[in-house]
Amino acid sequence: MSVALGQQVLVLNRLWQAVNLCSARRALTLLFEGHAQVVANTDSGDFKTYDFHQWRDVSNRTSSDSSEDVVRTVALRIRVPRVILLLFFDRLPRKEVKFTRHNIFERDRNTCQYCGKVFERRDLNLDHVVPRDRGGPTTWENIVCSCIPCNTRKANKSPVEAGMRLVRKPKRPKWRPFVQVGFGAPMHDSWKHFLDIAYWNVELGQEPG
């Protein structure tokens, strides 16, 4: 039972937007206290909400082969919810997009910002538009994706000096809401409809070495 209660549950606000992750223990407490409802897929592929008593009845009507998916007490058998909906919370935490390699690739769409060609990420570098030894900062506005040939051609020059032009001016992405899930946290299939995942959480410029 302790394993089941430690599983992670996706939390939606009242507007059905993903805002957090919590333990199954916390989710069941919110459900029991009437502060949340379970969100689950129906056979038709739609989502339906259940209060505590409805979810208990659903749990008793369905079977589960995994003891990790069910919490049992002397008087109760209830399935661990995968997604819950908060009934009285409609705020959405807003987080700035982290300045990471992954998110730079996402912003530039895996496209070299000098020749405009799309590459596999392993074939792209991150280039300082204004070279670092000339005071170019490691920021959203001065870092772009660059293919190896273009990176070699530009070398330690500015784009103008190298006779190159940027496809687009690099900018800081707009703010967007997301829930972050670490590498060690498995994602349940039912989360995919609601969750925008940011995988790489190490800020560039803050890495050791």
pLDDT of residue 51: 93
**103 and 34 together in one domain:** no
- Shared domain for 105 and 42, answered yes or no, is no
Helix spans in the chain (H): 2-5, 24-32, 52-61, 101-108, 148-154
Closest CA to 5 of 81, 75, 83, 59: 81
Does some domain include residue 28? yes
Torsion angles phi and psi, residue 88, rounded to 5: -130, 25
In a domain, 127, yes or no: yes
Q: Tell me: the pLDDT tens digits for 61-83?
A: 765 545 458 777 767 788 889 99
Domain match, 130 and 166 both: yes
Asked if the structure places residue 13 within a domain, the reply is: yes
Evaluate whether residue 160 is within a structural domain. Answer: yes
pTM for this entry? 0.51
58 and 15 within one domain: yes
Which residues constitute the domain of residue 162? 97-175
Judge if 165 and 106 occupy the same domain: yes
For residues 138 and 63, state if they share a domain: no
Task: Encode pLDDT of 166-178 as tens digits.
Answer: 999 999 886 554 4
What CATH code is carried by the domain that includes residue 121?
Answer: 1.10.30.50
> Are both 6 and 82 inside the same structural domain?
yes
- Residue 179's pLDDT is 53
Query: Which residue, among 89, 85, 92, 88, has the nearest Cα to 48 in the 3D structure?
Result: 85
Q: Are residues 88 and 105 in the same domain?
A: no
Q: Which pLDDT score, from 0 to 100, does residue 158 have?
A: 94
Q: Is 190 helix (H, G, I), strand (E, B) or coil?
A: helix
20 and 79 both lie in a single domain: yes
pLDDT for the residue numbered 119: 95
Surface-to-core class of residue 78, CB atoms within 10 Å of its CB (0-12 exposed, 13-18 middle, 19+ buried): buried
Number of domains in the chain: 2
70 falls within a domain:
yes
- Find the mean pLDDT for residues 31-58: 88
199: pLDDT strictly greater than 50: no
Predicted local distance difference test score (pLDDT) of residue 209: 31
User: Which carries the bigger pLDDT value, residue 47 or residue 195?
Assistant: 47
Q: Is 207 within the bounds of a domain?
A: no
- Residues 124 and 157 grouped into a single domain: yes
Does residue 183 sit in the same domain as residue 146? no
Residues 17, 85 within the same domain: yes
